[in-house]
Amino acid sequence: MANTNAVLLLSFLTTLSISFPSSTATTIAKSNGLTIKLIHRDSPDSPFYQPNLTTSQRTRKLILQSEARALRYHHPLQYPKQHFSSNALRPKVDYQGPSVYMAQVGIGTFTSGPIYYFLGMDSSIDLIWTQCDNCRSPGHHCFPQRQPLFPSLRSSSYRKLVCNRHPLCYPRSCIGNFCSYISRFADNSTSTGFLSSETFTFDSDSSRKEVVPNIVFGCGFDQVLSVDFGQEGNYAGILGLGWGPHSLVTQLGSRAGGRFSYCLQTMTNPGGRNTLLRFGSDIPNRPGLQSTDLLQYGGQLSGFYVSLLDISIAGARLRIPPDHFARKPSGGGTVMDSGSAFSSLIRPAYDILERELIRYFLRFPTLTRIRPPRFFKLCYERIERRGYTNLPSLTFHFRGADLVVQPQGAFYVKEAAGAREYFCLAMTPFDGATLIGAYQQTNQRFIYDLNTKKLFFGREDCLRNA
């Protein structure tokens, strides 16, 4: 309970960071496609980038981020529908951020161009959200932040949605004549604001800026904190990619056709971990992809669930009871979650995987089990540096498809003193849902088709055409 409370204490609303655009070409987004640059939080392009951190320090922070994200699925929030929208923004880990990937998004129309904000990419929620400067009005509250808030009334393209006239207004959710939202966070903090329409500008796959008008987003004017969340971060809010009508993929309409795709680079790639989020016809055609069903559940979290049936080590099935991975009335289930750095496995399944890996590594007598503090649970040291040699692949057996995770996506390898090195299973146990995180999704092309409710995937070198 102490560890759970410690992670929950780290989880609060994100704070704001802005930058102004460079001199690059701007085009209106094509009617049948869109590509957005995604920034990994440890990339030099990220506002979170800390060049002096060691690889181990970065990894520890990403482990905390993964644990905090998993907590949300273990403690689903239930609120009366007449008072709260179905979109509860997930809080950030205090020094880590709500998602391992973010997009730099321009919002508004000003004489100097749009103002750019870092929004965390999140496929488990729908609402696009940021904090607006009218939270400074008497009787309202703002979360602390170092940078200016979004000046909505100064933007010539900003419009609040009029009640009962827009299909994206929440039922019976109005303040005066305008549509509103209320989001509650895991620590019982709340954000209240207007649903508004605005022009968004995205960094694309080149020097272009692509403009998409009339995006509906939450413009927060009253934020109430339960406790002081401490260190400030650099996110402005969330770029929701969930199932619902407020998500970016749905609002793009024919530009996306209900489809988005990504191909994540190996996290240890020294050349950078950024990637591209593609929509509609911008998604490359890849023959021979496998597919499995995407499962949609109601409630606060609209993540992309799949049916996970078993796991293999080097091709050998573990015979984990599928019920461990199944969605139950109390929660759980298996979620494809690129916003989580590492996978979190429900504890009974993790225990089986760990036990069988220990048995697998008994064939290598030079390995020594080690237990680094505040790190992955299953780690070994070896007397010579072998990289990913002699490390097995892992396979997630979905209904109708097998996701083979190569050793580079299953294990974390780090050089140690002398000629030694250590490696760890890059997953954590958790008493809740199973999350397939970004590290385990690397070098695979994933295509989410919300219309057919299918997830397509296949191996790809993501350095070539992310």
pLDDT in tens, 47-69: 888 889 888 888 898 888 888 77
Q: In this model, does residue 354 exceed pLDDT 90?
A: yes
Is the distance from CB of 441 to CB of 101 less than 8 angstroms? Answer: no
Task: Tell me if 443 is assigned to some domain.
Answer: yes
Task: Tell me if 142 is assigned to some domain.
Answer: yes
Is the distance from CB of 416 to CB of 381 less than 8 angstroms? Answer: yes
Q: How far is CA 180 from CA 163, 177, 397, 421, in A?
A: 9, 10, 42, 54
Claim to verify: residue 210 and residue 344 sit in the same structural domain: no
pLDDT band at 263 (very low <50, low <70, confident <90, very high): very high
Q: How far is CA 47 from CA 101, 162, 273, 292, in A?
A: 12, 36, 14, 36
Task: Tell me if 84 is assigned to some domain.
Answer: yes
Claim to verify: residue 44 and residue 69 sit in the same structural domain: yes
Closest to 450 (Cα-Cα) out of 307, 243, 290: 243
pLDDT band at 17 (very low <50, low <70, confident <90, very high): very low
Claim to verify: residue 125 and residue 66 sit in the same structural domain: yes
Claim to verify: residue 138 and residue 45 sit in the same structural domain: yes
Claim to verify: residue 268 and residue 362 sit in the same structural domain: no
Task: Tell me if 267 is assigned to some domain.
Answer: yes
Predicted confidence (pLDDT) per residue in 203-254, tens digit: 876 667 899 999 999 999 997 764 433 344 567 778 999 999 999 999 999 9
3-state SS class at 320: coil
What phi and psi, each to the nearest 5 degrees, are found at residue 380?
Answer: -135, 150
Claim to verify: residue 157 and residue 269 sit in the same structural domain: yes
Claim to verify: residue 74 and residue 147 sit in the same structural domain: yes
Q: Give me the residues paired with residue 331 across strands.
A: 328
Task: Tell me if 212 is assigned to some domain.
Answer: yes
Sign of the dihedral defined by the CA atoms of residues 7, 72, 15, 64, in that order: positive
Task: Tell me if 369 is assigned to some domain.
Answer: yes
pLDDT band at 257 (very low <50, low <70, confident <90, very high): very high
Domain that holds residue 100: 2-280
Tokens matching residue 444:
């695979």
pLDDT band at 274 (very low <50, low <70, confident <90, very high): confident
Task: Tell me if 465 is assigned to some domain.
Answer: no
Claim to verify: residue 232 and residue 308 sit in the same structural domain: no
Q: What is the CATH number of the domain that holds 324?
A: 2.40.70.10
Q: What average pLDDT does range 110-122 have in this prediction?
A: 92
Claim to verify: residue 21 and residue 129 sit in the same structural domain: yes
3-state SS class at 132: strand
Burial 196-217, CB ≥16 within 10 A → b, else e: bbbbbbbbbbeeebbbbeebbb
Residue where a domain terminates, one of 280, 314, 348:
280
Task: Tell me if 466 is assigned to some domain.
Answer: no
Can you give the pTM of this predicted structure? 0.87
Residue where a domain terminates, one of 219, 252, 280:
280
Claim to verify: residue 341 and residue 235 sit in the same structural domain: no
3-state SS class at 106: strand
Claim to verify: residue 61 and residue 178 sit in the same structural domain: yes
Q: In this model, does residue 85 exceed pLDDT 50?
A: no
Tokens matching residue 10:
């780290």
Sign of the dihedral defined by the CA atoms of residues 12, 16, 22, 25, in that order: positive
Q: What is the pLDDT of residue 11?
A: 38
Q: What is the pLDDT of residue 206?
A: 62
Q: Give me the residues paired with residue 107 across strands.
A: 115, 200
Is the distance from CB of 73 to CB of 344 less than 8 angstroms? Answer: no
3-state SS class at 266: coil
Q: Determine which helix (DSSP H) or strand (DSSP E) holds 291, and give its type and residue range.
A: strand 290-293
Q: Give me the residues paired with residue 210 across strands.
A: 27, 202
Q: What average pLDDT does range 329-352 have in this prediction?
A: 93
Q: What is the pLDDT of residue 254?
A: 93
Q: Give me the residues paired with residue 293 across strands.
A: 454
Number of independent structural domains in the chain? 2
Q: What is the pLDDT of residue 131?
A: 87
Claim to verify: residue 107 and residue 160 sit in the same structural domain: yes
Q: What is the pLDDT of residue 135?
A: 86
Residue where a domain terminates, one of 226, 249, 280:
280
